[in-house]
Structure 1
């Protein structure tokens, strides 16, 4: 069943109006016909099971069959603070993080980041990254589209993350999974959770030292093997899903 997102004003009492680029996708790419089932979510997070009732030149009308009361979202707001990686690794990270249920993704400029984004490059990248997040949200049947934020500095990231209920910091020199299991086991539904991941070069000593200054931040291990930056955050998110999803 295909997933589409709409604005609140496109949802009516018994139908939903789908407009924009999704119309061409439905008509000419998917070649969907009247009667075919789809899932539609509004920006407020309410999802509906629908069937296509009319395909027009610039609009597709979907009749509402029922509301999706269960949904696909975690009860936790999870933010991934990702040290800027090289090449197109960020695209993979965003895609998979969205599939795993992340709520926000914040690119972070850190000491060992090779990539340096000026304002013009950042704006262009952000547009691309947000499109990837939307595509991944459709594929994974998310009820909301996670937001990719503007890149921030490491200190800015820690300041924002310190306001969350708990923040996990996978660190390659942290040893032993017992502490990780204990911290994961203390997390509860409804809490806001951050995950801070270093870039290819890892955390600088002074950066990891700043983590210990915040009571709500916890260094964790992801096992005895060293994970790449594009793997570490996804491994932590998978652990969170295991512990928090119902």
Structure 2
């Protein structure tokens, strides 16, 4: 690529980043479309857009669609393919944390580039999700992930699931790496994940109280360390994701 081409590509990216963005999953760029009321209210009342103003629609498929706002509708102008999604697909399996830390984890890790979230109760998790309220909680977390996607200029919204426990996490992904504070661990995160870079990496983070002996037995040789300091549960996941995702970009 010539210096002129690189400069044009950089300016185009900067221009796109300056435009308001809104996620409308499944949006079809072929013809004008009426926006859902919630998204229209956001554009009009929060972002203060008026008829004729440009914006970007994020369909969630790896593209963005440059559009123009016309009344209640958006008129597609151009479909673009900004390369903002990480090549490495990282899944964060996080033991349920206390309070609103789960929202911070989703927001921060979405910005960093995590592709999937699995939340599960560990043996020492203080928080337990009522089965009747799980779907509501997951929907709330999806909203937070969508907002983070809009803010950080990603083009795909992470998926978010609830799993029943550590056993289900390890059954679903036997090759997962598990962050552990156990003494004597010598295997670091980069070393443990190097062979998995082509197929994706699943990171497992425990609760505030750490893993029980029974859970450590299940974890076995999957345990890895981030170093000599013990991180909080809401720090460990973002830190590990950043090491894997931001370090290689």
Pairing 1:118-157 to 2, within 5 Å after superposition: 118-157=130-169
Shift of 1:68: 2.6
For each residue in 1:214-236, what CA deviation from the matched residue of structure 2 results, as whole angstroms up to 9, or x when unmatched? xxxx3221121110000001110
Partner residue of 1:77 out of 80, 89, 96 = 89
Shift of 1:187: 4.1
Q: How many residue pairs end up in the alignment? A: 231
Partner residue of 1:63 out of 62, 71, 76 = 76
Cross-structure match for 1:87: 99
Segments of 5+ residues of structure 1 without an aligned counterpart are: none
Is 1:54 matched up with 2:70?
yes
Is 1:2 matched up with 2:20?
yes
For each residue in 1:76-95, what CA deviation from the matched residue of structure 2 results, as whole angstroms up to 9, or x when unmatched? 32211100111111111111
RMSD: 2.2
Cross-structure match for 2:3: none
Is 1:114 matched up with 2:126?
yes
Shift of 1:160: 1.0
SS in 2 for 1:123: helix
Is 1:22 matched up with 2:35?
no
TM-score scaled by length of structure 2: 0.83
Shift of 1:197: 0.2
Determine the C-alpha separation between the residues in 2 that align with 1:242 and 1:29.
31
Segments of 5+ residues of structure 2 without an aligned counterpart are: 1-18
Q: Report the structure, 1 or 2, having the larger helix content.
A: 2
Q: Report the structure, 1 or 2, having the larger strand content.
A: 1
SS in 2 for 1:130: helix
TM-score scaled by length of structure 1: 0.84
